[in-house]
Amino acid sequence: MTTATPTVGVGTQATGTPTRATRVRKRLNTRTATLVSIVIALLWTVPTFGLFISSFRPENEIKTTGWWTFFTNPQFTLENYQEVLFSSSSSSGQLASYFINSLAITIPSVLFPLAFASLAAYALAWINFKGRDLLYIAIFALQIVPLQMALVPLLKFFSTGVTIAGVTVLPAWDLVDEQKFAQVWFAHTCFALPFAVFLLHNFISQLPRDLMEAARVDGATHPKIFRTIVLPLITPALAAFGIFQFLWVWNDLLVALIFAGGGNETAPLTVRLAEMAGTRGNEWQRLTAGAFVSIVVPLIVFLSLQRYFVRGLLSGSVKG
């Protein structure tokens, strides 16, 4: 005589009650939640849509009427985009070269924190060493320090180096032109590491302990465990942080302006957009086209990694 083994449905505990994750999903699938999501999406999208419409309107129309009048009196032109992208004027054009500068600043400023933070998060989560918890608390506490407080010390570090008791420990960087990109990469990496380590540590620490122990029994070392097990499992978290960091660095003006300067060789897109407004801030037609050009790349990055972004935010937020 055999005894049937009771089965547990997906999203339910052994007692038959729904898990916490299932209850959260049900609450987010209600009509009220859907309506709130639609309202938020509309409020978030309308300004961008208005910016898009304005970028194709003539200068006189932009300065005298609102973008919504386009539907009653449609006037279309590509002059704004031609001016900001390809014009030889020093006050309005040459946006394409600054676009390349932004890419040169943003891509390494995303990859460096991802690499360093993932290694540090794994060590803090799965390697036992003295002072580990205190180190993690210190890294977490660094998130509350405004980056503006670190600008002057960091700039002094680049310009004069580090000297202790008259002995030069680290010399000045003395970088020029395109070499100043390294200063921006270093600054953005320092500012991003506390949050990156915190985010990835919370994700990595929730990986199954049995999985790690089984790998150790099979003779896997920490580098192999990190490379073959941890990295594939934390891809959603890496993508989530990567999107946050990409948007932050791409839209940054202060850090890039201080450490890279405002020259044509190193200045990012945001510096050029600020200059395009004109000395009196009245060149709106340039800003509409230039601003929309600047958001194309972040939109592509977000849409291409959206599924990983959502999984990275939700993973570890609820437990069964």
User: What pLDDT does residue 5 have?
Assistant: 46
pLDDT higher than threshold 60 for residue 318: no
Q: Do both 100 and 69 map to the same domain?
A: no
Top mean pLDDT of 11-15, 112-116, 233-237 is at 112-116
State whether 155 and 63 are in the same domain. Answer: no
Are 127 and 59 part of one and the same domain?
A: no
Q: Flag whether 13 is in a domain.
A: no
Residue at 30 is within a domain: yes
162 and 289 belong to one structural domain? yes
Pair of tokens at residue 290 = 């230039």
Task: Please give the Cα distance from 123 to 230 (Å, whole number).
Answer: 12
Residue 110 is predicted with a pLDDT of 94
- Percent of the chain whose pLDDT exceeds 90: 13
Q: What is the dihedral of CA 41, 19, 305, 287, to 10 degrees?
A: 30
pLDDT of residue 320: 41
* Residue 95 near residue 102 (C-beta atoms within 8 A): no
Residue 229 is classified by DSSP as I
Q: How far apart are CA 244 and CA 192, in angstroms?
A: 10
Q: Cβ of 51: how many Cβ atoms within 10 Å?
A: 16
Domain membership flag for residue 41: yes
**Quick one: CA dihedral 102, 105, 109, 112, positive or negative?**
positive
Neighbours of 147 (CB within 10 A): 15
Could you read off the pLDDT of 158-167 as tens digits, one per residue?
888 888 877 7
Burial letters 88-119, b for 16+ CB under 10 A, else e: eeeebbbbeebbebbebbbebbbebbbebbbe
Pair 314, 206: CB distance under 8 Å: no
In three-state secondary structure terms, 268 is: coil
Whole-model pTM?
0.76
Asked whether residue 310 falls in the same domain as residue 175, the answer is: yes
State yes or no: pLDDT of 197 exceeds 90. Answer: yes
Got the DSSP string for 9-77?
-TTB-TTSPBPHHHHHHHHHTSHHHHHHHHHHHHHHHHHHHHHHHHTTS-HHHHHHS-GGGGGTS----
Q: Is the pLDDT of residue 221 over 80?
A: yes
> Is residue 271 located within the same domain as residue 170?
yes
The pLDDT assigned to 313 comes to: 54
Instruction: Give per-residue pLDDT as tens, 261-317.
Output: 777 788 888 888 877 766 655 667 778 888 888 888 888 888 887 776 666 555 544
Residues in the chain: 320
Least Cα distance to 111 among 232, 193, 207 occurs for 193
What secondary structure, in 3-state letters, does 144-208 show? HCCCHHHHHHHHHHHHHCEEECCEEEECCCCCCHHHHHHHHHHHHHHHHHHHHHHHHHHHHCCCC
- Mean pLDDT, residues 72-92 taken together: 75
Q: How many domains in the chain?
A: 2
Q: Do 304 and 163 belong together in one domain?
A: yes
**Range among 68-72, 112-116, 132-136, 289-293 rated most confident:** 112-116
Q: Are residues 48 and 109 located together in one domain of the fold? A: no
pLDDT of amino acid 91: 54
* 42 lies in the same domain as 179: no
Q: What is the pLDDT of residue 192?
A: 92
Highest mean pLDDT among 55-69, 166-180, 300-314: 55-69
Residue 113 sits in which domain range?
A: 95-316
Mean pLDDT of 150-157: 86
The mean pLDDT value of the chain amounts to 80
